[in-house]
Copies of this chain bind each other. A is one copy, B any other.
Amino acid sequence: MNRRIERHRNILDFAISSLLRRKGKNLSLLAVYAFIVFIIASIVFFTQALKREATLLLEGAPDLVVQRMVAGRHDPIPITYGDKIAAIRGVSAVSPRLWGYYYDPFTGANFTLVASDDDPPAKESIYIGSGVARIMRLTTGVHWSLRGAKGTPAVFSVQKILPGNSELVASDLIQIREDDFRALFDFPLGRATDLAVVVGNKVEVPTIAAKISRQFPDTRPILKSEMLRTYDSVFDWRGGMVLVILSVAVLSFVLFAWDKATALSAEERKEIGILKSIGWETGDVLLLKSFEGMVISLTAYLVGVSVAYLHVFFFSASLFEHALKGWSVLYPRFGLTPVIDPYQLCVLFFLTVGPYTVATIVPSWLAATVDPDAAMRS
């Protein structure tokens, strides 16, 4: 038993020294390899963490949101619809939501204005998200003038800045009183942006949505499950653009590795010939080559995954920031609760380590089965 381990260690020693002999080539290969693993693992960590956060947070969202459509466009919904919806059996509460968008022409940022009757700010005061405070350089107590729908400026005092750890939910929010909201936007009385419906028994939600749709054919109910599914598809790293980028990355790596590994230099082929002529068996040569492959791929995998974890959860995925920002002026800064999904990491392991190992072993196997004399002479 001990002898077999010793033999394996000897071959491992030899594999490492043979890798060290071609230091430049192998170090550059290792760096590219680790980088690819790093990028993919970062995407996996980031999207998984956001997905989990979205799922847990959206549990607090309304069971059903009912919007009115006129000529295929969203239109404020009469609050009287809410009373009739509340009368549907199984609906435990209906409350109008009043929210809209405010575009600030100076910074070019878009803010979301929300009026809520739960813990509202004082008259002519607002609560603002930390993103708003950051971009508009506002502090508590400061006055801020918004441009109203009639062109007249409306001055609000900042009563509270929402805590920094709520940026994922409220970075661009401005919470305002309902009467201030209606005055600012000249929003029609008796109407709301949409209606939030709470259903007692969650199983009944689709039935109630169908009932609402039948009773009010000009409305569109949006289920909480649909909201969740929207976020699931937004963060689905196997879909869309991410898939395209990833397949290009993986494909080019496979080609790169194949090229590096298959182009057995004359020197390497000679080496295999010598090893065979001094009595190594084909199995030993293959073990040597697979150790060479494993040393590279295992190191690259572990380094790539660890650095990706640090990148996403300690440095807030700062490399992706530019890509995620797009053209938005206000970019929420949020920390993510780490999520490690062993299944995804295993898939990643086999996707990156597999092709490389095959690419190193196959050509060596072809070379190792050749007559040693011919190999040395070639």
Is A218 in contact with chain B by the CB < 8 A criterion?
yes
Instruction: Tell me, in angstroms, the Cα distance from A158 to B321 when the chains sit together.
Output: 53
A260 to chain B, nearest CB (A): 14
For the complex, what is the distance from the CA of A193 to the CA of B72, rounded to whole Å?
Answer: 11
Stretch at the interface among A73-81, A164-172, A360-368: A73-81
| Oligomer copy total | 2
Stretch at the interface among A55-63, A100-108, A330-338: A100-108
Q: How far is the CA of A71 from the CA of B76 in the complex (A)?
A: 10
Q: Which label, helix, strand, loop or mixed, suits the secondary structure of the A interface?
A: mixed
Q: Which residues of the other chain, B, contact A76 by a CB distance below 8 angstroms?
A: 70, 75
Task: Verify B73–A218 contact, CB threshold 8 A.
Answer: no
For window 59-116 of A, CB contacts with B under 8 Å fall at 70-76, 99-103, 110, 113
Point out the residues of chain B lying under 8 angstroms from A102, CB to CB: 72
Residues of B within 8 A of A70 (CB): 76, 100, 149, 185-188
CB < 8 Å: which of B71, B101, B103, B186 contacts A218?
B186
Determine the residue in chain B with the shortest Cβ distance to A74: B73
Name the distance in Å between A115's Cβ and chain B's nearest Cβ.
Answer: 10
The reply to whether A217 and B100 form a contact with Cβ atoms under 8 Å apart is: no
User: What is the CA–CA distance of A113 and B186 in the complex, to the nearest angstrom?
Assistant: 29
Selected contact of A193 from candidates B71, B99, B101, B103, CB within 8 Å: B71
Contacts of A100 in B (CB 8 A): 70-73
Question: Which 8 residue pairs spanning A and B have beta carbons closest together?
Answer: A71-B100, A72-B101, A151-B217, A149-B218, A71-B185, A72-B100, A71-B187, A70-B185
- Chain A positions within 8 Å of B, measured between CB atoms, are 70-76, 99-103, 110, 113, 147-151, 181, 185-188, 193, 214, 217-218, 248
